[in-house]
Amino acid sequence: MTLQELQQEHAASLAALAAAGDAAALDALRVKYLGRNGLIPAMVKRMKDVPAADRPAFGKALGAWRAAFEAALAGRVAEAQAAEAPHAAFDVTLPGRWRGEGVIHPVSRVIEECAEIFHRLGFSVADGPDIENKFNNFTALNTAPHHPSMDASDTFWFDAETLLRTQTSPVQIRTMMANPPPVRIVNPGRCYRRDTTDATHSANFHQIEGLYVDTKPVSLADLKSTLAYFAREMMGPGIGVRFRPHFFPFTEPSVEVDFTCHVCKGKGCRVCKNSGWIEIAGAGMVDPRVYEHVGYDPDKVYGYAFGMGVERIAMIKYGIPDIRFLYENDIRFLSQLR
Ligand code: DAH
């Protein structure tokens, strides 16, 4: 064979590779050219018959052919495998599949933000169980023995002593029983009441409880300044607080706490029913009876407590008109939260 014939065979082998349709055809070509009795090994054996003067050029051309054929074969085999099993080929340059981006739920967002704001004032986060006993949820909180809130029509009871907590206030009791004063905690958590669901009520909702008890004097003014700081941080500058006298069994005196309406900034609008204020929390100075129940000496401690509805804050802050939007997982609502 002449050098020219060898180069023609080289070109023909590459053309055959290019034309091969599948893995089986490629394998046949591999056997034909590279196999034990293949063309290229046969040529190598016949090198000794080539005139000595032509041998170096012939050997070089043969090596080039082998290298070119092997490279082309590997490329075509990879192509055939990818075509036959598309998933085996992984293209790292393809953009990923977009799965949609989630957001933190408004209730969780408000809880995190509240905890953060109170943290700056030295409050730590306490925790308590959703399933409570009657003592922590009612008795120790100075609730009168036959108070209607204890009725089976208002509260989910498991038995005469065990219930789903109706408020986060029992965490006050747990905290004081486990720690000597001073205590300065907030507790976000779920509460349960036998309420019929409507635009502002849900049988399952969240509260944030706050409690500060110390052995040095703590006053209603301290409570007010703390809540005023919270109001500004949470709802923005220009938001003030006012206290209205109220009654809670576990505080004396007790107040309801209003924030300046964030929509009209106090001028009066539909949202605040023209009052300029929106009710946000219940609060007061911890009642001496509560201290007695937890083993604190009522003559030696001073403290305040407050409790606010998380959903209510979320609805006000994010302009959500109906509490049910927070729980029904309607994608038309959720996708607006981004
Ligand atoms: N537990 C009360 C409720 O569910 C809210 C509340 C009022 C909590 C006054 C307090 C407080 O800690 O001092 O309506």
CA–CA separation, 226 vs 223, rounded Å? 5
Dihedral angle, C-alpha 275, 190, 220, 273, nearest 10 °: 0
3-state DSSP of 53-104: CCHHHHHHHHHHHHHHHHHHHHHHHHHHHHHHCHHHCCCCCCCCCCCCCCCC
Q: Is 17 in contact with 80 (CB distance < 8 Å)?
A: no
Other Cβ atoms within 10 Å of 329 Cβ, number = 9
pLDDT computed for residue 86 by the predictor? 61
Q: Which residue's CA is the nearest one to ligand 1's atom 5?
A: 307
pLDDT computed for residue 90 by the predictor? 74
Check pocket membership of 170 for ligand 1, CB cut-off 6 A: no
Residue 211 Cα: closest atom of ligand 1: 12
Q: What is the pLDDT of residues 289-323, one digit of tens each?
A: 999 999 999 999 999 999 999 999 999 998 888 89
- What is the gyration radius of the CA atoms in the chain, in angstroms? 40
pLDDT computed for residue 93 by the predictor? 85
Q: Is 320 in contact with 181 (CB distance < 8 Å)?
A: no
pLDDT computed for residue 122 by the predictor? 97
Q: How far is the CA of 324 from the centre of ligand 1 (A)?
A: 23
Residue 207 Cα: closest atom of ligand 1: 4
Residue 209 Cα: closest atom of ligand 1: 12
Q: How far is the CA of 254 from the centre of ligand 1 (A)?
A: 9
Q: Which residues of the chain have pLDDT under 70?
A: 86-89
What do you get for the CA distance between the two ends of the chain, in Å?
76
pLDDT computed for residue 88 by the predictor? 61
Q: What is the pLDDT of residues 227-279, one digit of tens each?
A: 999 999 999 999 999 999 999 999 999 999 999 998 888 999 888 899 999 99
Query: Taking the model in full, what pTM does it have?
Result: 0.72
pLDDT computed for residue 89 by the predictor? 67
Which residues, in sequence order, are bridge partners of residue 278?
Answer: 259
Which residues, in sequence order, are bridge partners of residue 157?
Answer: 163
pLDDT computed for residue 146 by the predictor? 86
CA–CA separation, 118 vs 227, rounded Å? 10
